[in-house]
Structure 1
Amino acid sequence: MSANLRDAVYLYDTTLRDGTQGEGISLSVEDKLALLRFLDTFGVAYVEGGWPGSNPKDLEFFRRAGDVPLQRARLAAFGSTRRPGSACDDDPNLAALLEAGTPVVTLFGKSWDLHVTQALRTSLEENLAMIRESVAHMAGQGREVVYDAEHFFDGYLRNPEYAWATLRAAREGGARWIVLCDTNGGTLPHEIERITAEVARRLDVPLGIHCHNDSGVAVANSLAAVRAGARQVQGTINGLGERTGNADLVTILPNLALKLGYRLVPEPQMERLQELSRTVSERVNRPPDPFHPFVGESAFAHKGGIHVSAVRRQPETYEHVPPERVGNRRRVLVSELSGASNVLYKAREYGLELDPETPVVRDLLRHVKELEHQGYHFEAGEASFELLLRRALGLVPPFFTLEGFRLTVAKGGPDGTPGPDAEATIRLRVGSERIHTAASGNGPVNALDHALRKALLPVYPTLASFRLVDYKVRVLDGQAGTAARVRVLIETAADSTRWGTVGVSTNIIEASWLALVDSVEYGLMKMQVERPGNWAVSTG
């Protein structure tokens, strides 16, 4: 099916409900309210807030969500059809859905006869009545009813006539949308497309699609359903959800909008897609996936020299969409696989224009490959590479020179506390001024960090804003035992800026020192370049 710009697809986000069913995922009421506001401003058409009949948290969320002014999104409450053998007026779940006060109510019902007889333990006719009457009850109360046909594809493949009957019951009850659900996540794209197209031809109610990712094809299934006629796509941000997750709206949205030409959200909001993905990751306390399509840090990262050379001339050669369209950016990595193009690209990124024929480029590239062979990893320590480049060009001021340091480690602190106590004595020179100081810490690296700061703070006051936020050690050759070469990665932050540095040695203290010095010098260099009023140097 070809699409044009007049075609609209409605995003239905269920991160706040179905997403929280994923293992290890929990959102507070404040989290859910904050995400509701973000999803609304982003332009999502429907936001499913939760199941008000299932827990006190969702009841509180809906009570407070009524005071949130929504500009674009319609809030939905989720729940089941009435219980077998009961009346809609007496059903507590339906009463809770109405009490939630949302303009949209999403009801799920059984489409697979196996579930009707084995899970609900009722008759096929009673299930049809439950669907018809529950939908009519909600529609009669002025609610827009979205009917989720649970396990529809499994049911259709095994008993198509009964699966059809459940859809007709929802239509007769007055459903505004009928959503075909691949609840087990086991259906493949060609089946989804064929069955959705058959339903679209025979049913005069707008269709939606809801896919789980148990077979790893939830995104592909959702796209196939849209091609076949579905105009509502349900899913979660970052694919959160039960078992292996739901269809990932962060991947579905740009594919539909940028590849197939559908209208889903206001066009300027597409540039906030990475921000949306990371905001949800932060709320659920999960690190962003660097390999996430479209929005991951590695989605537009180029490493091979041939690739980088091509991208410098024409980005389309290795980028399927411009990264800026989804709020991302192009990254060129430097490693042993690099060519001169990588160095030239990074230099331009740092504001430096280099002649490709200058010996500095060849010499630096050779040096980088040697260091990577030793165990350096400049992808994770880009600040160390920038320093390497600027040092080769003579552009790094001599902030300080180490003359020597000494470390002592004792078991138990001087105050009688258990554990190791470390003290570092350091001698260095700043210009003609010699500085000799000592500091303690809860380990040798921590003591060195304290001693270096203590020595340099009077000279460079801006160092007080530097924070060591991550420290990683990796043994590069475990078979060498305690003589193995180690790689230390340090991440440092100042204000909203972060940078990574790397050091390698057979001595973990020396590797840490190399990464630590790069961290300090890089930060001082950036302060000198970007905020010249915030740094000072004393030459004695």
Structure 2
Amino acid sequence: MTLNQFAIVESTLREGEQFVGANFSSDDKLEIARALDEFGVEYLELTSAAASPKSKRDCQRIAGLGLNTKVLTHIRCHQEDAKIALDAGVDGINLVIGTSYFLREYSHGKDIDTIIELASEVLTFIREQAPEVELRFSTEDSFRSTYEDLSRVYLALDKLGVVDRFGIADTVGVSTPNRVYDLVRMVRAQTDAYIEFHGHNDTGCAIANCYAALDAGATHIDTTVLGIGERNGIAPLAGFIARMYAEDKELIKQKYNLPALAPVHEIVSQKVGLPIPVNHYIVGDCAFNHKAGIHTKAMLNNANAYEIIDPTDFGLNRNIQITHKLTGWHAIANRVSQLGLDLSISKIKTLTKQIKEMADQKDLTLNEVDDLLWAAAQAPNSVPSNRK
């Protein structure tokens, strides 16, 4: 896997609109688009311009903002949809059609030969009308489609010479990393075009599947802020960034404006009425909280002992908790130092034991612990820190 070849197709303004709590106004979309552009995603994917008059106007407004990110719209494999998308002035058009038995039987009702014929017509039409537009074709429900059917579709459309990027979609979240790897490798062997992966999170594999796709030769990964989308949503932006940061943090620091990650999550959280989960990747309140005594001792010596991600790269802080029965004297000593107090190690150890006993009886606040430390430092018989 060559990490510097991957790009993020950020789909909060398309897939994210399908989240049960999402009802973005036009101004909401502009605010989110600007925030994602500030973070530095390479692509923004918008709801089909053919979905409604407002959707088309929103596409036109966002496409006209002059963002650094490329603006895409997602459409069905219909020529009328393509005409409306072209009129919206976007940088790229993402076509999709279902290839699984379920979608051929119960959705559009077309067989594989008809799918190839229809897709060929629409792709050729778009390329003739707009040679400069980026063009992606994706099979929907790829992992419940047969390899034979997928191979026929991708090979036939690749021969047209008009597709910039082929999409592979785990539409119902059924796949596993091994299966993703195998399918992406198959498509990679059949085309030199870029490969995009779209993974739903119904079974909790979305981030791992994205990583497997990249490992197999994919180049573009779909995400949404907070992972919102249809049902359980798709790979969350922060989770994908966390995975790739752990792989090569210097590259991720160069590619993206990491301190802008938390603000875009706060914006989307407010727009959809969904609090950021406390355990969400990087931006959750507990992401850099440390509690257990053996953890905090190591953390105070070297933060890498229990952190794979440096919060300061994202403009965030870590928190060493001390108001509980698991606290250790190293953590209390650190708090004493933060407060500028002068207490001996033996006194700190005694206070730590006292804090543990108090925490067994009730929930402590940081103010209560601080009051205890201040009182000990101001006591007439307190021992300076240079004595044990």
Q: Same fold (TM over 0.5)?
A: yes
Deviates more, 1:205-214 or 1:265-274: 265-274
- 1:276 corresponds to which of 261, 264, 282: 264
1:389 aligns with 2:373: yes
Native 8 Å contact 1:47 1:73 kept in 2: yes
Q: CA deviation at 1:261?
A: 6.4
* Partner SS, residue 337 of structure 1: coil
* 2:135 partner amino acid: V
1:370 aligned residue: 357
1:48-447 correspondence runs (5 A): 48-70=45-67, 72-82=68-78, 88=79, 91=80, 93-142=81-130, 143-155=133-145, 159-173=146-160, 174-260=162-248, 263=251, 266-267=254-255, 269-334=257-322, 335-348=324-337, 350-352=338-340, 354-359=342-347, 361-378=348-365, 382-394=366-378
Instruction: State the alpha-carbon separation in 2 of the partners of residues 263 and 180 from structure 1.
Output: 25
Q: Are residues 386 and 61 of structure 1, via their aligned partners in 2, closer, same or farther at CA, if it must alter by over 3 Å?
A: farther
Q: Are residues 267 and 166 of structure 1, via their aligned partners in 2, closer, same or farther at CA, if it must alter by over 3 Å?
A: closer
Q: CA deviation at 1:298?
A: 1.3
Q: CA deviation at 1:387?
A: 3.7
Q: Are residues 386 and 28 of structure 1, via their aligned partners in 2, closer, same or farther at CA, if it must alter by over 3 Å?
A: farther
1:461 aligned residue: none
Native 8 Å contact 1:79 1:106 kept in 2: yes
Native 8 Å contact 1:75 1:102 kept in 2: yes
- Structure (1/2) with the larger helix percentage: 2
Q: CA deviation at 1:220?
A: 0.3
Native 8 Å contact 1:50 1:58 kept in 2: yes
* Partner SS, residue 5 of structure 2: coil
Q: CA deviation at 1:389?
A: 2.9
| Number of aligned positions between the proteins | 375
Instruction: State the alpha-carbon separation in 2 of the partners of residues 77 and 63 from structure 1.
Output: 10
| Deviation readout 1:93-121 (Å, 9 max, x if unpaired) | 22321222111111111222442233212
Q: CA deviation at 1:127?
A: 1.3
| Deviation readout 1:346-368 (Å, 9 max, x if unpaired) | 233x3425445152x23432332
Instruction: State the alpha-carbon separation in 1 of the partners of residues 63 and 185 from structure 2.
Output: 38
* 2:374 partner amino acid: R
Native 8 Å contact 1:288 1:296 kept in 2: yes
Q: Which fold has the larger relative contact order, with Cα–Cα distance below 8 Å and residues 6 or more apart in sequence?
A: 2
* Partner SS, residue 393 of structure 1: helix
Q: Are residues 242 and 292 of structure 1, via their aligned partners in 2, closer, same or farther at CA, if it must alter by over 3 Å?
A: same
Native 8 Å contact 1:46 1:76 kept in 2: yes
1:43 aligns with 2:40: yes
| Deviation readout 1:166-225 (Å, 9 max, x if unpaired) | 223432441111111000101011111122112212222111110000110100000000
* 2:215 partner amino acid: R
Normalised to the residue count of structure 2, the TM-score between the two structures is 0.89
* Partner SS, residue 107 of structure 2: helix
| Deviation readout 1:339-387 (Å, 9 max, x if unpaired) | 1112122233x3425445152x234323322332222143xxx344334
Instruction: State the alpha-carbon separation in 2 of the partners of residues 164 and 337 from structure 1.
Output: 56
Native 8 Å contact 1:66 1:101 kept in 2: yes
Q: Are residues 384 and 153 of structure 1, via their aligned partners in 2, closer, same or farther at CA, if it must alter by over 3 Å?
A: same
Native 8 Å contact 1:52 1:96 kept in 2: yes
Native 8 Å contact 1:116 1:127 kept in 2: no
* 1:36 partner amino acid: A
Instruction: State the alpha-carbon separation in 1 of the partners of residues 140 and 75 from structure 2.
Output: 12
Q: Which has the larger radius of gyration?
A: 1
* 1:59 partner amino acid: K
Instruction: State the alpha-carbon separation in 2 of the partners of residues 65 and 113 from structure 1.
Output: 36
Instruction: State the alpha-carbon separation in 1 of the partners of residues 245 and 298 from structure 2.
Output: 26
Q: Are residues 353 and 129 of structure 1, via their aligned partners in 2, closer, same or farther at CA, if it must alter by over 3 Å?
A: farther
* Partner SS, residue 55 of structure 2: helix
Q: CA deviation at 1:133?
A: 1.3
Instruction: State the alpha-carbon separation in 2 of the partners of residues 268 and 355 from structure 1.
Output: 44
Instruction: State the alpha-carbon separation in 1 of the partners of residues 252 and 271 from structure 2.
Output: 24
Q: CA deviation at 1:141?
A: 2.2
- Structure (1/2) with the larger strand percentage: 1
Q: CA deviation at 1:272?
A: 2.8
Report the RMSD for the aligned CA atoms in angstroms. Answer: 2.2
Q: Are residues 66 and 245 of structure 1, via their aligned partners in 2, closer, same or farther at CA, if it must alter by over 3 Å?
A: closer
What percent identity do the matched residue pairs reach?
A: 24
Q: Are residues 229 and 212 of structure 1, via their aligned partners in 2, closer, same or farther at CA, if it must alter by over 3 Å?
A: same
Unaligned runs of 5+ in 2: 380-388
* 1:163 partner amino acid: L
Q: Are residues 68 and 322 of structure 1, via their aligned partners in 2, closer, same or farther at CA, if it must alter by over 3 Å?
A: same
Q: Are residues 80 and 169 of structure 1, via their aligned partners in 2, closer, same or farther at CA, if it must alter by over 3 Å?
A: farther
* 2:329 partner amino acid: A
1:31 aligned residue: 28
Instruction: State the alpha-carbon separation in 2 of the partners of residues 32 and 115 from structure 1.
Output: 30
Native 8 Å contact 1:129 1:169 kept in 2: no
Q: CA deviation at 1:24?
A: 1.7
